[in-house]
A and B are shown apart, each in its own frame.
Chain A
Amino acid sequence: MTSEIDVGQRTDTAGNGRAGGRRMSTGRLGDQIFAHSARGSGVVLLAIMAAIAVFLIWRAVPALRANEANFLTEQEWNPNATPPVFGIAQLAFGTLMSSFLALLMATPVAIGIALFISFYAPRRLASGLGYLVDLLAAVPSIVYGLWGLHYFGTKMDDVGRFLNDYFSWIPLFGGDSVGGRSLLTASVILAIMILPIISSITREVFLQVPTANVEAALALGATRWETIRMAVLPFGRSGMISAAMLGLGRALGETIAVAMVLSTASGISIHILKDGGNTIAANIANSFAEAGETGRGALIASGLVLFVITLIVNMGARAIVARRKEFV
């Protein structure tokens, strides 16, 4: 689709070039303008990425120098103390844990929604439903935060207690001081927030499945579900992974909703029902205002870590997608 638009624009510019010139022209000027502007956009993107990385490193280094603890393994975050002691371990753990759980909950539901809208729902219902899912993406994250803090969190309090009472033999659900402002609550809210992006991209991917493949499966005597399994899901595999990764990217970076829901407590704990936990982004939002010189540097250093985590996640996703490339 993008390439079609590109071609359209190119001929357009070429046409303008011809109209401007007196002689017959093949429109090479238009071609060049287009090529340069496209290249320019690419370069600007790289420059922005580089500028962000340089800024983060430049501001982070002094704080990291002053740090008395090992930045990667230390769990405490006291950059404003003298001497400053802070580390990323707990924050990175909370970030990865909550995002991973969110992805785990959101992906199956999102794919289910996309499948339902694309293949099962009657057409009139399908378009309305698709619109509704997209609308979910338009809810500001502060609203999710408020809702999570004042309504959903209180409900999750009971859910947490229930899980803790009956399933505490599962390490994740063990521990005490169970409450609604836990990593689990944050994960569920994150899951709701990343649902629309995963679902709408997956739906786009399903729309790309060639009719010929679907008909081939049907003509072999496949039921609807078998057709989906045979022609749709394998074809959409890389697209679905990309969609999930975009969702994960959003979950990793989500700030304000998580900052509002979690009641900050220190220390790594795998007990996700426990009140507390923290993430990199939420920590930055909560502590930036009152941080001193070293404190800000330390927060920027944590931002750098978030940047790197996101980068690794994306590269991982690309590797997965590329592995079976010859088949799609």
Chain B
Amino acid sequence: MITLSILREEERKKILAASFRVLDETGVQVDHPAIFQKLGAAGCRGDEEKKRIFFPRGLVEEKLKLCPRSASFANRTGDIFLAEPGGPSVFWTGNALNFTRGKESRPITERDFAAFCQVVDALAHIQGVVGTNLSEYPPETRDFVGFRIMMENTTKHLRPCIYTPQGAAVIVEMAQEYLAMLGKDLQTCPIVSTGYTIVSPLHWTREGLEVYAQTAGYGLPAMINSECISGATSPVTLAGTLVLANAEALSGIVINQILEPGRPCIYNLGFSHVMDMKTAEPTTGAPENGLLAAAGAAFARDLNLPSASWTCSDSACVDSQSAFERAVVGLVQLLGGANIIWGAGNLEFTRAISLEQAVIDNEILAAAHRVKRGIEVSEETLALDLIQQMQSQAHYLTSDFTLKHYRRELATSNLVNRHRRSAWEKRGAKSLEEAAHAQVEKILKQPAGHRPDGPGLEKVRAIEKKWLRKILG
């Protein structure tokens, strides 16, 4: 596997040393009184008036040792993905506000999100679905309603987007009940994971910390997200942003290890943006997004932790920009070694999702995975005997060797055009966007029986109804 090295070891050490100084000397604002107290009891210095916690390096290093080096993510077909430093990468979708089709975009509805889950369920290179906004439900219910929609429409790993601490607790209840019907539990079958993002710079809100508190104690992997915006919430220099992002993520690690010693934590510096200095928008498809995420994955490897990132496009629709940004940034993040990469199907600075973009991303990811796998060199793959046997005859196509190796050596695609013009015209002369649209329509026409269902889902629906009644009256 190819791993891209963004920073030299001595550069990473320098950055990390600066991060430890930020934690110890500048500190982090902690808005949760109970967690503030726990951090104080664990050995941090605190300034109650300013709600500031200062983390001694020794304490951070001690808590890092409690973190498992891997985290498990299960889907509902029985597969478990092990995220670990130096290990393989998977792609998930990303949360959003709007649903884009063509050049139009509208707030996401339940129906839109269900369709999105169904399409992603059919895409081999996207392994997890992330919850989104749902416009017809009140904000405080969108996380657990979204979780039910995900459960009904995909068997992939589920990462609900958490809007409130209560929502996190409801989702844990839903997942536990569902698994209990199958004789399983969250420890052994983590079909759901959670996480939260610090407000940069250096500010843990009460809500974020309460989400960690509500989901602690089940062995659920927690993603610790720093989401700096270089030039706005962090220094415009990427090195400076990494100093801050490391400090933020490390503070989240300490908090989670205090709440649940041994909790699997995913070290995520890869949600970082840079501010576009013309529009003031936080970019997601800029080259720097790739650099920051790849560097973040390298820090995670140094700390012996799994890593994550988010790749997206800033384009408002499915077009050449959305494809090239995903290809460049996604490839850099993948080669950088991020274990879980969000954003498949995302557009418009992560504000939108698109069915067609998800299909195109699936192809980009397949190609990117092929690049990452690199070139396998062995006595077998050198094919010296075959070359000597063929001499100057070009009969490789009919050889047994080709039949044996071509599927592994050559990436295939059902979407991109590899026909000559005449054949392409005969097949409808479809652009990539049109081919993706046709594939979306085909997936959505699959019979409803294909969708996941069962008695466990009835439990999930009942819990959803119970909480909707409680919250909405």
A and B: interacting chains: no
